[in-house]
Amino acid sequence: MRVKRIKTNLISFKDVRVRFSETDNLGIVWHGNYVKYFEDGREAFGREHNISYLDQKKNRIATPIIKLICDYKLPLHFGEIAKIETTYINTPAVKMIFQYKIINSEGKLVCQGETVQVFVDFNGNLHLKPPPFFEAWKFKKGLL
């Protein structure tokens, strides 16, 4: 049975400039760095929407990634500025789902992807019910 997933209007945007250290010898972004761009987008989303890693830590919760999808479309090059679009996907399941689009300066889709994160306490125990701070956040955002 598939769990219901609803794309929300909770979106964050972050610009990143491709650094030399992120490219290979052809001057294009090494494929593994797109995952770091997803992380940049998730951090910006958390700060903007009050569900940051620091908020989670304050509540003694960690949110490890259990699934990652990354679909490459076009290369990014050293010096380019790309826009990371991060969207929260609502679900009744005890997890956080984010979708990402990375757009180049010409407005073309470079990469898209998704991450799924679960909630664990600092001892590594999986939460089978949403942590209270997360339920309060969802309620405040009109997602319950």
Domain residue extents for the chain: 6-133
Q: Provide the pLDDT for residue 103.
A: 98
- Helix (H) or strand (E) segment spanning residue 132: helix 132-140
- Beta carbons of 64 and 124 less than 8 angstroms apart: no
The pLDDT averaged over each successive group of 10 residues in the chain (144 residues) is 78 96 94 96 96 93 97 96 97 96 97 97 94 95 90
Q: What is the CATH number of domain 6-133?
A: 3.10.129.10
Other beta carbons less than 10 A from residue 113's beta carbon = 19
At 7 the pLDDT is 84
Per-residue pLDDT, 107: 96
The pTM of the full predicted model, rounded to 2 decimals, is 0.93
